[in-house]
Every structure is written in structure tokens, then in C-alpha cells.
Amino acid sequence: MEFETTDQDLITLYTICDQFTDKIIERGQLIPILQQIQEKIGYIPKEAIVKVSEVLSISQAAVYGVATFYNQFRFVPPGKYPIKVCLGTACHVKGADIILENFERKLGIKEGETTQNREFSVERVACVGCCALAPVALVGEQVYGHMAPSKVEGIFTQIEVKKQIEHKQTPNSEN
């Protein structure tokens, strides 16, 4: 699934890269630059590969090779509501893979993907440190412990209610 890079993301990207334009920079700064881009934008858009290669005077293939080598970099924008399903040992033993499948089925995406409207993304994580609550899912910063397949639908209901409340509290929204 291809995503359009937003104008705001491009502005952020160029702002980050412009700070290096008049400085002497080396290839060793590639990872910190990519980390800064991901921290500010949330992912590494394809335009970043091009711009960073220009800034560092190295090939796009070299930039892409480093970015794909490290697990920390993502090339798909995260959702507004990122969903992380723990598949550490305790969660795995208690059926976390089924929880992950339910999120994927509900959203129509696979792990590592983001819905087209950028509302949700799903990923598996190794451990969230809540083994006593296994299986565990995180939606944003909210921890959902003792997950069951039947709880997945309830999480989406909570999110919809939260969105409706926020919409009503927005000064320019029509009630």
C-alpha cells in the first residue's frame, strides 16, 4: 500500500535536512539523521531517502540499505492509533497470536501496515513488560491486559466513543 507524504511531513523533512546543508557532515551521521526524521515524522518517507542521499553525498541505495538494515526504522506512517500486540513468551503462550489476527481481520491490514486513512497501524512487539497481564495489547499508550479475542471489538468501540467526545469538544465542530 502506497502512502502520499503529507505537505507537513515534507516541510518537516526539509527543515531537518536544511540544518545540515551548510555544515561539513559525514556518512557516520546517516543513522542520527534518519533517527531524527523518524522521531519528527514517525517514519522514513521515500522522499527522505532522496534528500538524505543529497545531503550526505552518498547514493540512495546506501541510505536505503542502512535504513532497511536496522529494525528501528519504519517506512509506513504509523496510525493515529498505533496498536501493538505483545508476542513475548507469556503473551504468546496465552494466545496473543489470535489477538493479533483479530486486529488484522478487523482492520483489513497485516502487521506492519497502516490503514489507508492512517487511523490505525498494527505491529507485533517482543515484550511490553506486563507479563502478569498476558496477553497484552497497547493502543497508543493505553495498556489492555488479559486480552481475549472478544475484547478487540470493544477497544474499537471505546476509540469511536472517544473520537465522538473529542469532536463535540472541538470549538469549530458542528453538533
Rounded to whole angstroms, how far apart are CA atoms 106 and 160? 14
Average pLDDT, the chain: 89
Rounded mean pLDDT, 9-29: 77
The average pLDDT across 7-32 equals 79
CATH value of 81-169 in 3.20.20.370, 3.30.1490.100, 3.40.50.300, 3.40.30.10 = 3.40.30.10
Q: What is the pLDDT of residues 110-127, one digit of tens each?
A: 999 999 999 999 999 999
The whole-model pTM stands at: 0.76
User: For the chain, what percent of residues have pLDDT higher than 90?
Assistant: 66
Mean pLDDT confidence for 135-164 = 93
Q: 86: buried, middle or exposed (CB in 10 Å: 19+, 13-18, 0-12)? A: buried
Q: Is 144's pLDDT higher than 70?
A: yes
User: Residues 18-46: what's their mean pLDDT?
Assistant: 84
CA distance 175 to 173: 6
Question: What confidence score (pLDDT) does residue 23 get?
Answer: 66
